[in-house]
Chains A and B, each alone.
Chain A
Amino acid sequence: MQAPDVLVIGGGNAALCAALAAADRGARVLLLEKTSAEWRGGNSKYTRNIRLVGPDYSEEEFLADLVGVTGEEIDKDLATLVIERSGGVSRWMEAHGAHWQPPFRGTLQLARTNHFFLGGGKALLNTYYDRAQRAGVEVRYHAEVVSLQLADGRFRSAIVDMPEGRREVPAPAVVVASGGFESNLEWLGRYWGKAVDNYLIRGTSANDGRLLADLLEGGALQRGNPRGFHAVACDARSPRYEGGIVTRVDSLPFGIAVNRDGRRFGDEGQDLWPKRYATWGGLIALQPDQLAFSVFDSQVLGLFIPPLFPPLEGATIEELAVKINVDPGALETTVGEFNSAARREIPFDFRRLDGRGTPGLQPPKSNWALPIEQPPFFAYPMRPGITFTYLAVGVDRHARVLDGSGRPMENVFAAGEVMAGNILLNGYVGGVGLTIGTVFGQIAGEEAAAHARAA
């Protein structure tokens, strides 16, 4: 193991972008990934698209989309920086081996705002790892950083557990790109209590937040939202960790969502699905037992991508209610009220906001209100599926980590989930996690290389 100029901690998209950017500037880079070659890639291996400005998607619209979900407390300076630089990202990615593919059937609403990488995130990461290694980046697997040695606001070395034992690795600059704390149930439990027992962690099981905690304890500025996360509705039968995209329930806009008591609790037709899918994990998290059901009928089969498991089925609403262990009377009442409120006279068109709402119903379903009346009836059981957390270390425009007084630490850089909470506080717009990781990965890599050269 050579003494590096730049030490990169983590093995997902942000880490690889940092490693590539630093290597492009001639830095000797050592990248430490805590998992194995097979499991490398953090949450990025489960992704497939990145949100970028382009000819049909202006910087203003991107910012408006982001502020629309996350709220006005967003750090507009950093958000604007990410958005401005996103215009050059597709060329940078291509130069580092990325291939694109046309958007998927069922994701056409994302086509204008997102680029889809061929084969998804793991294929992209495979390419990045290959390019990085060809550029001389040394990659070590099973290398878990347990803490950073900081002195006077400067990084000195990392304490690393490796197969050959515990080692101290000094470097002139460090990039922390080791993810959030979503895999750490104990930590999630500090904000969510026992509800976390019913959460699914749909991404990596490796993100225990160890370095996020280490930085915060070491005096880094805390930013973001401790209770904020990207969370979708996942099939309740999915594995506890690493379920990924195939566990996502996409049927919600085509029917109604009810909780354990058979009651609706959200507007299933509020907006186009890609803009809203990431709010449902949070909504389900607030329901009794963190359990809910997507209920629909035969007429919408085939309109959405089916998840891994088949839906539960009943010839009548009553039979379905028994199958999903919901009071049949309550479910019949909910479906009945919904059906009578649905505006049948407006044509159903799921490709746009069709205005087919449910006047007078609370909560409303603002679009696509098709009465649930065509047997057999179906339901997917759902749990909150957490993707990543929004608690962050504060950073500046150079990706430098800020200390408690807001002063940048000159050789400590951060990228990806560990700092995404500077920009994401609530909600989500599809593909922006990769944008933040890529842009801040590049900045962190460039700045770390420049710092190492100057040092």
Chain B
Amino acid sequence: MPGLPELLDEANRQLTICNACRYCEGYCAVFPALERRSVLREGDVALLANLCHDCRACYQACMYAPPHEFAVNVPALLSRGRLESYRRYAWPGAFARLFDHPRHAAAGASLIVAVLVLVAIVVRAGVGGLVAVQTGPGAFYRLIAYEVMVAVAMILSAAALTLLAGGFYRLWRDAGGSRRQLLDLHLWAGALSDAAKLRYLRGGGGGCHYPDPLRPAQARLAHHHVLVAGFALAFAATVVAAFEQDVLGLIPPYPILSAPVLLGIAGGLLVMAGAGGLLLMKRREPAAAHDLRGPGFRALDVAFLVLVESVAVTGLLLLVMRATPAMGPLLVAHLGAVGGLFATAPYGKFVHAVHRFAALLRDRAEAR
């Protein structure tokens, strides 16, 4: 994408205009936060960028938007700022390049995990075991050892959590946050409420100017809620399953009418609907809008949503076909997608949840 001006200079140029105008003060937290600053440093841009939920109401309201010579487009500017902050706070730094190739990163990580699962299955059950019908308690574990599955899941999720927490802390610090404020539960309560409600994804009351720039709508907000609810239910399914197995000693697969399976079905369906809806909206977004956001902006979202959608679809298929010869291959695909999701969490769109939360928390502290 040629011709995008250097981010920090451009942020100072555009946001000086915003600070002199202030018409958008009522839309979200970005503009009051901006008014507390006169010159922006890089940490300020990271904060403002992640406070912005890209509802685009301010762009539609802006009389200085192109073709005006002032050429103000704050949501596009801050979208670039977010991608920049994802890269900056990735660790190790060399892995930041994964943000430039999100499709390859997601597909590659999933493929590697899938191959490892395949090898583990073949070693344990042989090639024949992979496509044999497995039923009864322990059906999954006849293909892949329980200990292996737990160990891999633990390592991947611990690594993802650690790396994400590191990025969170460094963003928090660069945005001016103190250690002491990190322990303030009132700030956490406020920021959690802002995050859970997606408070700043509401635009001017009518919702996001997305995907149709001229007709604000609540569809993105609704689909995001559905997706997050699906995530939460799927996570709950995992926790309940672990409890049933390790505490109650019940060995999966569980019957359809059991808590883990019902939670899993509900979670999977919600994730499918949420991620699917968000993907469809991407298709309807005018090309000019994502071009302005720089290279990779759209690819990052699409790669993440496709991965999430794959986890949900393979999980549901696995449930439906678990008593057929397809169970083995589906297990490979599902665990591959899940593993890819965890492995790329610190290097893909999932980061937005962590960075946004850091920004919301910082904003709560500042606005007090």
Contact = CB atoms under 8 A, between A and B. Distances in A.
Given A104-B25, A119-B58, A239-B69, A305 B20 contact: yes
What does DSSP make chain A's interface, helix, strand, loop or mixed?
loop
A45 B70 CA distance: 15
A414 to B, nearest CB: 25
B61 A123 contact: yes
B72 to A, nearest CB: 10
Contacts of B137: none
B17 interface: yes
B23 A45 contact: no
Contact of B26 (A45, A46, A118, A130): A118
Interface residues of A, number: 30
B16 interface: yes
Given A99-B204, A102-B26, A123 B57 contact: yes
B97 interface: no
B133 interface: no
Nearest to A133: B214
A388 B60 CA distance: 24
Interface residues of B, number: 29
A180 interface: no
A374 interface: no
B173 interface: no
A120 B204 contact: no
Contacts of A48: 23
Interface string A234-259: 00000100101110000000000000
B21 A246 contact: yes
B128 to A, nearest CB: 64
Contacts of A325: none
B61 A122 contact: yes
Contacts of A307: 20
Nearest to B205: A99
Nearest to A129: B214
B62 to A, nearest CB: 7
A102 B20 CA distance: 17
A306 interface: yes
A308 interface: yes
B299 interface: no
B204 A46 contact: no
B97 to A, nearest CB: 38
B104 interface: no
Contacts of A244: 21, 63-64
A245 B20 contact: yes
B358 to A, nearest CB: 26
A152 interface: no
B24 A120 contact: yes
A130 B214 CA distance: 8
A45 B204 contact: no
Given A39-B67, A101-B25, A119 B57 contact: yes
Contacts of B27: 118-119
A119 B56 CA distance: 11
A339 interface: no
B63 A46 contact: yes
A394 interface: no
B186 interface: no
B63 A120 contact: yes
Given A245-B21, A305-B19, 4 more contacts: A41-B63, A123-B204, A244-B64, A308-B17
Can you list the 4 inter-chain pairs with the closest CB atoms, starting with the nearest?
A101-B26, A120-B23, A119-B61, A123-B61
